């Protein structure tokens, strides 16, 4: 009489491999779970897909939590800058704003991103920016 143990072990092993394969194909870590190198590459990719006028909630859903943020009121407009890490300059374990790309929102709609964006935030809101 032959033992069924090798067949049982083989079946369990094949089921395990199938399970791992499905997990690897389906699982996508959230941006908050990524290491800094993967997070920066992820953020650069997502920023390249942005469009002026996108809603704050949509961007936060796709990009995750910002690394830094600032907000202020300018007249009746709500200004918000979210900073997402995109380029490490010094490998010191400390993330700074100059290693991030700023995204500027007026009344929860994206109006600018990139190098000069933070300077726009610091200046008074131009009258041409409306919601």
CB neighbourhood size of 85 (10 A): 21
SS3 17: helix
Place of tokens 């790309």: 101
pLDDT of residue 89: 76
Q: Let me know if residue 24 belongs to a domain.
A: no
Q: Let me know if residue 127 belongs to a domain.
A: no
Instruction: Supply the CATH number for residue 45's domain.
Output: 3.30.1450.10
Q: Which residues span the domain enclosing 49?
A: 31-122
Predicted confidence (pLDDT) at residue 24 exceeds the cutoff of 80 = no
Q: Let me know if residue 23 belongs to a domain.
A: no
Non-local (6+) Cβ contacts of 118 within 8 A are 81, 97, 102, 104
pLDDT digits (tens, 9 = 90+) for 113-126: 998 888 888 886 55
pLDDT of residue 128: 53
Q: Let me know if residue 16 belongs to a domain.
A: no
Report the candidate in 117, 131, 43, 49 with the shortest Cα–Cα distance to residue 87: 43
């Amino acid at each position: 009489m032959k033992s069924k143990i090798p067949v049982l072990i083989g079946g369990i092993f094949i089921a395990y491999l199938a399970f791992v394969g499905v997990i690897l194909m389906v699982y996508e870590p959230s941006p908050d779970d990524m290491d800094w190198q993967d997070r920066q590459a992820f953020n650069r990719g997502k920023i390249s897909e942005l469009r002026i006028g996108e809603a704050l909630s949509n961007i936060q859903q796709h990009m995750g939590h910002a690394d830094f943020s600032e907000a202020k009121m300018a007249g009746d407009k709500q200004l918000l800058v979210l900073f997402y890490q995109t380029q490490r300059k010094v490998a010191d374990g400390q993330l700074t704003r100059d290693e991030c790309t700023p995204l500027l929102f007026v009344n929860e709609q994206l109006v600018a991103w990139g190098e000069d964006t933070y300077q726009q935030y610091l200046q008074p809101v131009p009258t041409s920016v409306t919601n």
